[in-house]
Amino acid sequence: MKIFNDQHEMFRRAVRTFVEKEVEPHVDEWEEAGQIPKSIWPRMGELGFLGVEYDEKYGGGGADIQTTMVLCEEMVRSRSGSLAMAVGVHTDMASPHLYWTGSEALKEKYLPDICRGRALCCIAVTEAGGGSDVAAIKTRAVRDGDHYVLNGAKMFITNGALADLYFIAARIEQGSSTQRHRGISMFLVERHTHGLTVSRKLDKMGMRASDTAELAFQDMRVPVENLLGREGVGFYEVMRVFQRERLVAGLHAVAGCARALEDTIAYVQERHAFDGPLSEKQVIRHKVADLATLIEAGRWLTYAACLKFGAGEDVVKEISMVKLFTADMAQKVAYDCVQLHGGYGYMREYPVERFFRDMRLMTIGGGTSEIMKEIIAKQMEL
Ligand SMILES: Cc1cc2nc3c(=O)[nH]c(=O)nc-3n(C[C@H](O)[C@H](O)[C@H](O)COP(=O)(O)OP(=O)(O)OC[C@H]3O[C@@H](n4cnc5c(N)ncnc54)[C@H](O)[C@@H]3O)c2cc1C
């Protein structure tokens, strides 16, 4: 079945060339530094990689979901889960809140810089007290004249230390216990807004080049026009963008696993033990066949959900299945690929070691596997 047309393939070649020439040579250095240089963003903007689905009048590419799929797949081929995640947050997790729910004036003001890579975005929903229960958000927004005043804090925010634009979920009113979702709204906040502090850059197991921050808001005044969507119904809008985030996670997991398996196949063909290459041992051949089959299953589950989502269908159940399946798949593929590399798989100089650490996030970030199972069961009316 053909998913990608000639235009998509042309776009793929452009992203792959960029990744091979301008990303891959620097990945180790960025991991070591714990940071992706900010100069990558205007460069990606110049190449037209940021905002591929946004309308051309805002500087976007006016393209379709397949173009986003290609971008995700090719970013992960860099073997930098960190860069793929940072880009995904900017293009598919944070800025869609503006594109889908922002006023025309806000879109005209901010989208061109987002597409050009001059304004890096992050999305701040999770709080230290709990991420799975989004409706329990404690950050408050109180209306004061033509501003909202925000107080609270956020945890684990990707791009949080370097961002220029913060998409922040806060509660405007205290809903009753049966309507705890109602008060949540999304605000667009500029970096230098008084009262916004990056409290801490967090140190983590994997995705080490991606910045993950803890944020604090103290009497932070946000103009009323920077409220995205309708006051108090933001929760449902947040949940809609989460669907895109989870598809992107699925695409990253599948393409990342495919890349790791390619590397592993090359390794077992080259590595000799007991008078021949590892790839000639039946146990190893079968393991590779199992992994390839698993990745192919994940790929088609993900592609089907992407295409349905792109066509505007309600695919919450399918997308939750994508997130659940591909996150588990990534754990198995990462474990087995390290195993097939033997001792070298445990060494920093082999990309599979980083892949193993990066992939651990997949069952946690963007909604845990347990929460995906809850959503699937609920969608099945259990
Ligand atoms: C590297 C990284 C980057 C991130 N980037 C962002 C970001 O950019 N923006 C953002 O807003 N957030 C971000 N997150 C937060 C992420 O989405 C949360 O970590 C995730 O949603 C889980 O929330 P939690 O960590 O508070 O775990 P908790 O909600 O405390 O859950 C802990 C455990 O309990 C389980 N659990 C919770 N409730 C239930 C239940 N009802 N039934 C069964 N099991 C349950 C969970 O599955 C999990 O295993 C990031 C996290 C990480 C680690």
Verify that 59 and 21 share a domain, yes or no. yes
Mutate to test the pocket of ligand 1, among 82, 132, 208, 372 (most ligand atoms within 8 A of CB): 132
Buried b (16+ CB within 10 A) or exposed e, 308-333: ebbeeeebbbbbbbbbbbbbbbbbeb
Q: How far apart are the CA of 89 and the centre of ligand 1, in A?
A: 16
Report the pLDDT value the prediction gives residue 180, as an integer from 0 to 100.
67
Which is the closest atom of ligand 1 to the Cα of 366? 17
CATH number, domain of 35, equals 1.10.540.10
Q: How far apart are the CA of 363 and the centre of ligand 1, in A?
A: 9
Q: Which of 127, 214, 245, 318 is catalytic?
A: 245
Residue where a domain stops, chosen among 120, 147, 182: 120
Verify that 279 and 328 share a domain, yes or no. yes
pLDDT digits (tens, 9 = 90+) for 327-382: 999 999 999 999 999 999 999 999 999 999 999 999 999 999 999 999 999 999 99
Domain presence at residue 142: yes
H/E stretch holding 281 reads none
Which residues sit with their C-beta closer than 6 Å to ligand 1?
89, 122-126, 130-132, 156-158, 204, 207, 212, 361, 364-368, 370-371, 374
Verify that 113 and 153 share a domain, yes or no. no
Q: How far apart are the CA of 130 and the centre of ligand 1, in A?
A: 7
Which is the closest atom of ligand 1 to the Cα of 130? 26
Verify that 274 and 344 share a domain, yes or no. yes
DSSP state of 165: E
Which is the closest atom of ligand 1 to the Cα of 374? 42
DSSP state of 155: E
Verify that 71 and 135 share a domain, yes or no. no
| CA-nearest residue, atom 43 of ligand 1 | 370
Verify that 246 and 192 share a domain, yes or no. no
**Dist CA 302 CA 257 (whole Å):** 13
Q: How far apart are the CA of 360 and the centre of ligand 1, in A?
A: 13
User: How many structural domains compose the chain?
Assistant: 3
Report the pLDDT value the prediction gives residue 147, as an integer from 0 to 100.
97
Verify that 164 and 43 share a domain, yes or no. no
255, 203, 247: which is closest to 78 by C-alpha? Answer: 255
The two structure tokens encoding residue 169: 């979920």
pLDDT digits (tens, 9 = 90+) for 13-64: 999 999 999 999 999 999 999 999 999 999 999 999 999 999 999 999 999 9
Mutate to test the pocket of ligand 1, among 165, 212, 368 (most ligand atoms within 8 A of CB): 368
DSSP state of 203: P
Report the pLDDT value the prediction gives residue 291, as an integer from 0 to 100.
98
Domain presence at residue 249: yes
**Dist CA 39 CA 23 (whole Å):** 12
The residue with tokens 């992960």 is 76
370 and 320 Cβ atoms separated by less than 8 Å: no
Q: Is 245 a catalytic residue?
A: yes
The two structure tokens encoding residue 278: 């590892």
Residue where a domain stops, chosen among 232, 256, 272: 232
How long a stretch of residues is the chain?
Answer: 382
- 183 is in which domain, residue-wise? 122-232
Report the pLDDT value the prediction gives residue 312, as an integer from 0 to 100.
93
324, 325, 335: which is closest to 357 by C-alpha? Answer: 335
The residue with tokens 């792959």 is 16
Domain presence at residue 215: yes
**Dist CA 147 CA 227 (whole Å):** 10
Phi, psi of 214 (to 5 degrees): -105, 135
| CA-nearest residue, atom 11 of ligand 1 | 125
Verify that 145 and 198 share a domain, yes or no. yes
Buried b (16+ CB within 10 A) or exposed e, 337-376: bbebbeeebeeeebbbbbbbbbbbbbbebbbbbebbeebb
| CA-nearest residue, atom 38 of ligand 1 | 132
122 and 154 Cβ atoms separated by less than 8 Å: no
Verify that 223 and 259 share a domain, yes or no. no
Interior angle at CA 281, CA 275 and CA 285, nearest 5:
145
Q: How far apart are the CA of 246 and the centre of ligand 1, in A?
A: 13
DSSP for 37-71, please give it: -TTHHHHHHHTT-SSTTS-GGGT-----HHHHHHH
Instruction: Classify residue 195 as left (phi > 0), alpha (psi -120 to 50) or beta.
Output: left
Domain presence at residue 1: no
Which is the closest atom of ligand 1 to the Cα of 154? 11
Would strands 196-201 and 147-158 be described as parallel, antiparallel, or unpaired? Answer: unpaired
Q: How far apart are the CA of 214 and the centre of ligand 1, in A?
A: 14
Report the pLDDT value the prediction gives residue 242, as an integer from 0 to 100.
86
75, 24, 86: which is closest to 47 by C-alpha? Answer: 75
Listed in sequence order, the DSSP H helices in 220-315 are 234-270, 282-310
Residue where a domain stops, chosen among 104, 120, 136: 120
Verify that 241 and 346 share a domain, yes or no. yes
CATH number, domain of 289, equals 1.20.140.10
Report the pLDDT value the prediction gives residue 173, as an integer from 0 to 100.
66
Domain presence at residue 357: yes
240, 236, 2: which is closest to 135 by C-alpha? Answer: 236
Domain presence at residue 311: yes
Amino acid at the residue 337: C
Verify that 221 and 273 share a domain, yes or no. no
Mutate to test the pocket of ligand 1, among 364, 378, 382 (most ligand atoms within 8 A of CB): 364
CB atoms within 10 A of CB 247: 29
Verify that 189 and 136 share a domain, yes or no. yes
Per-residue pLDDT tens listing for the chain (382 residues): 899 999 999 999 999 999 999 999 999 999 999 999 999 999 999 999 999 999 999 999 999 999 999 999 999 999 999 999 999 999 999 999 999 999 999 999 999 999 999 999 999 999 999 899 988 999 999 999 999 999 999 999 999 999 999 999 999 865 444 466 778 899 999 999 999 999 999 999 999 999 999 999 999 999 999 999 888 776 777 787 889 999 999 999 999 999 999 999 999 999 999 999 999 999 999 999 999 999 999 999 999 999 999 999 999 999 999 999 999 999 999 999 999 999 999 999 999 999 999 999 999 999 999 999 999 999 999 9
**Dist CA 357 CA 205 (whole Å):** 6
11 and 70 Cβ atoms separated by less than 8 Å: yes
